[in-house]
Amino acid sequence: MWAGRILITADSQKWAQIAATTATGFAASIIMSPAEAGIEGIVSSNQTPDKRAGAVIQIYHRTRRDLRAQMGLRISQCVMTCPTAAAFDAMPNAKRRLKVGRSLRLFGDGFQKKDVIAGRDIWRIPVMEGEFIVEDRFGAMKAVAGGNFLILAKSQNACLLAAEEGAKAIRQSGSGVILPFPGGICRSGSKSGSVKYKLPASTNHPLCPTLTKIVPDSQIPEGVNSVYEIVINGLNTDSIKKAMAEGIKAAVAIPGVVKISAGNYGGKLGPYRAYLKEVLKLT
C-alpha cells in the first residue's frame, strides 16, 4: 500500500495527541474503512519544526490518489479544526510528493499566506483562533500493510491481557509502525473472500473458537477458547518484523497463552512474508 507520514504539533502534548487520535479515526482496515491509519509515536518539542510538542501518524491506502484524498480530508477535518494544531510532512526523503497543503490553502479564501518554517514551505491559513499552519507538500512511498500474528489462549481474559501486552511492547519498541485496530487489537479476524456470500472478506471461521465443533476445517487446538489478532503496518518489512518479534515475546509471557500463529490467507494478502520463527531470531 501507499503510506503518508504526518507530524502534528500543538501548544501542548495533550492537543497534539487529541489531533492525532481524531485524524486516525475510522481507519482500522481498508476492507471497509476509508483508509488505514494509526499513531506511530510521540515527538518531543526539540525535534519539531516549530519547537512544540508533537505526534506522528501514518495513513495508508491502495493508490497515491486515494492516499492524497484521505490525507487532505483528515488534516482539514481533524487537525485544522483542533485547537493550536499544525501539520508537517514527516517523510521528507520520499521521492513522491503530494500537494496536500497546497489544496487546503484554499480554505483561507484568498487570505492565506505562503511562508517558510525551518526550511519547509508552509501555508498560514487564517482561522478564528489565529492561524493554521500546514506544509505545502507531503511525502508518499510504497509501504507494507497487514503484518500480523495471532494469540491463542485458554480464556478471553488471558488472551486479551496477552494482546494488550503485545501491543504495548510494539508501541514501546520504537520500530516506526502503527497498529490500526482499536487499541492495537483485532477480535474479528477475517479471511480473504467468503464461503457463502459475495464479500471481499468474512469471518475467519477456522480460527473462531465458538465454531470449533461446527466447521470441519477448524484450526483451534484443544483448550483454546479465545483468539486475538495484532495487525501491523510499517514503512518496510524490517520494521514490521521487529515489531512482530517484540509483540510475540510480550504476549507469550502471559499465563494461559497456548499458541502463537499468523494469517497467511493463501498468499492472497500480498507479496511479503514474515515467518514467525525467523522473526523471533531478530531480537
Which residue ranges in the chain fall short of pLDDT 50?
none
User: What confidence score (pLDDT) does residue 174 get?
Assistant: 82
What's the total number of domains in the chain?
Answer: 2
Is the same domain home to 203 and 153?
Answer: yes
End residue of a domain, out of 113, 142, 171: 142
Together in a domain, 169 and 275: yes
Q: Are residues 18 and 106 in the same domain?
A: yes
Residue 260 pairs in a beta bridge with 151
Q: What H or E segment, with its residue span, contains residue 71?
A: helix 64-74
7, 52 Cβ separation under 8 angstroms: no
- Residue 228 maps to which CATH number? 3.30.70.520
Q: Length of the chain, please?
A: 283
Q: Which residues contact 66 (CB under 8 A, 6 or more apart)?
A: 2, 35
Q: Are residues 20 and 110 in the same domain?
A: yes
Q: Which of 142, 167, 188 is the last residue of a domain?
A: 142
Nearest-10 Cα torsion for 72, 106, 108, 91: 40
Read off the pTM: 0.95
The answer to whether residues 219 and 178 belong to one domain is yes
pLDDT of residue 175: 82
2-46 pLDDT tens trace: 999 999 999 999 999 999 999 999 999 999 999 999 999 999 999
Same domain flag for 103 and 154: no
How far is CA 21 from its chain centroid? 11
Whether residues 43 and 166 share a domain: the answer is no
Q: Based on the domain organization, do 201 and 81 belong to the same domain?
A: no
CA 49 to chain centre: 23
Work out the number of other CB atoms within 10 angstroms of the CB of residue 238.
14
> Which of 142, 169, 186 delimits the end of a domain?
142
Task: Decide: 142 and 218 in contact? Cβ < 8 Å.
Answer: no
State which residues form the domain around 157.
144-280
Q: What's the pLDDT score for residue 108? A: 98
Considering the domain architecture, whether residues 65 and 126 belong to the same structural domain is answered as yes
Same-domain check for residues 68 and 102: yes
155 and 103 in a single domain? The answer is no
Rounded to the nearest angstrom, the gap between the alpha carbon of residue 84 and the centroid of all alpha carbons in its chain is 24
Instruction: Say what the alpha-carbon torsion angle 209, 268, 266, 30 is, to the nearest 10 degrees.
Output: -10
pLDDT per residue as tens digits for the range 206-233: 999 999 999 999 999 999 999 999 999 9
Residue 266's pLDDT is: 67
pLDDT for 282: 79
